[in-house]
């Protein structure tokens, strides 16, 4: 997912506010579904973040063109582990490993074949 950094994304010094990197990654994950005409909310089931390991490597600035990449590291019956990176050109500014559990209400739910197929193209 490619996008430009806008004023609303930055602090008073024109540097991207740290929590926005998480938002950029969330948008990229949602776009995986939206690009196929699907929704990340399926009936009364959706993904819940259970763990994030994030590394901030360099700052993005107002006006930068950024790209978010997503790689599937592993999948289990009810969960996915992804690595997502925010890049400016080829420089990694932010990276994170995120564990997502597919939930129905308060209970983990088996990943559907549609979800497994959707993420299979992102295998590392």
Domains and their CATH numbers in the chain: 2-120 (3.10.129.10)
**Angle between helix 113-120 and helix 19-34 axes, rounded to 10 deg:** 110
With CA atoms as reference, report the closest residue to 85 among 63, 108, 54, 111.
54
SS3 81: strand
Distance, CA of 107 to chain centre: 22
pLDDT digits (tens, 9 = 90+) for 41-99: 999 999 999 999 999 999 999 999 999 999 999 999 999 999 999 999 999 999 999 99
What is the Cα–Cα distance from 60 to 68, expressed in whole angstroms?
13
Average pLDDT over residues 10-39: 96
What's the Cα-to-Cα distance from 59 to each of 9, 47, 56, 81, rounded to whole Å?
Answer: 12, 28, 8, 25
Residue 16: pLDDT over 90: yes
Angle CA(25)–CA(56)–CA(68) in degrees, nearest 5? 30
Please check whether residue 28 is in contact with residue 40, taking contact to mean a CB–CB distance below 8 angstroms: no
Catalytic residues: 11
Which residues partner with 55 through β-bridges?
A: 95
Q: What's the pTM value of the predicted model, to 2 decimals?
A: 0.94
Residue 124: pLDDT over 90: no
């Amino acid at each position: 997912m490619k996008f430009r950094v806008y004023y609303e994304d930055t602090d008073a010094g024109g540097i991207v506010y740290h929590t926005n990197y998480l938002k950029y990654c969330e948008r990229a994950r949602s776009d995986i579904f939206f690009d196929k005409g699907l929704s990340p909310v399926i009936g009364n089931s959706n993904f819940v973040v259970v763990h994030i390991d994030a590394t901030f490597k360099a700052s993005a600035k107002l006006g930068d063109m950024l790209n978010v990449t997503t790689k599937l590291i592993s999948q289990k019956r009810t969960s996915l582990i992804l690595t997502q990176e925010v890049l400016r050109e080829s420089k990694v500014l932010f990276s994170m490993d995120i564990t997502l559990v597919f939930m129905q209400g308060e209970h983990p739910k088996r990943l559907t074949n549609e979800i497994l197929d959707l993420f299979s193209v992102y295998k590392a």
